[in-house]
Amino acid sequence: MQRASRLKRELSLLATEPPPGVTCWQNENQLDELRAQILGGADTPYEKGIFNLEIVVPERYPFEPPKIRFLTPIYHPNIDSAGRICLDVLKLPPKGAWRPSLNISTLLTSIQLLMAEPNPDDPLMADISSEYKYNKQLFLLRAKEWTEKYASQ
């Protein structure tokens, strides 16, 4: 019950005061399945891209973090080809930094920040990570190409 009332509160806040560049909604009246869109930030290779994400809220939420993955392909060192995201706030301690005080809005904002500032030292995609570190121009070019190919409307 706590999960349902908290999710309703979070969704209503996301509808009325969403973080800039983020939208989130219920997927076909399923309270535990949400969809989100993140707009690629200005001055990033993802600029003008619209990235779709799937959010699955576990039974134990907020004591367990939601499972979030990209549905739109994205060229990024911390996001793999299945859309999984390497981000500490998406994992429980001791490896992660999830806390029940965090919410879906915070997570989507963190993902948006990760898109703008990749963390090449904790990659899911080692090849993209080394490209980001040692050949940033090529990384930026490829990320921009993927954005145009997969995230343009």
Domains of the chain as residue ranges with CATH:
1-151 (3.10.110.10)
Q: Which residues contact 97 (CB under 8 A, 6 or more apart)?
A: 88, 89, 91
pLDDT band at 25 (very low <50, low <70, confident <90, very high): very high
d(CA 67, CA 153): 25
Q: Which pLDDT value is given to residue 135? A: 98
Is 86 labeled as catalytic in the residue annotation? yes
d(CA 82, CA 57): 18
Q: Which pLDDT value is given to residue 116? A: 97
DSSP 91: S
- In this prediction the pTM is 0.95
DSSP 61: T
Catalytic one among 86, 108, 114, 128? 86
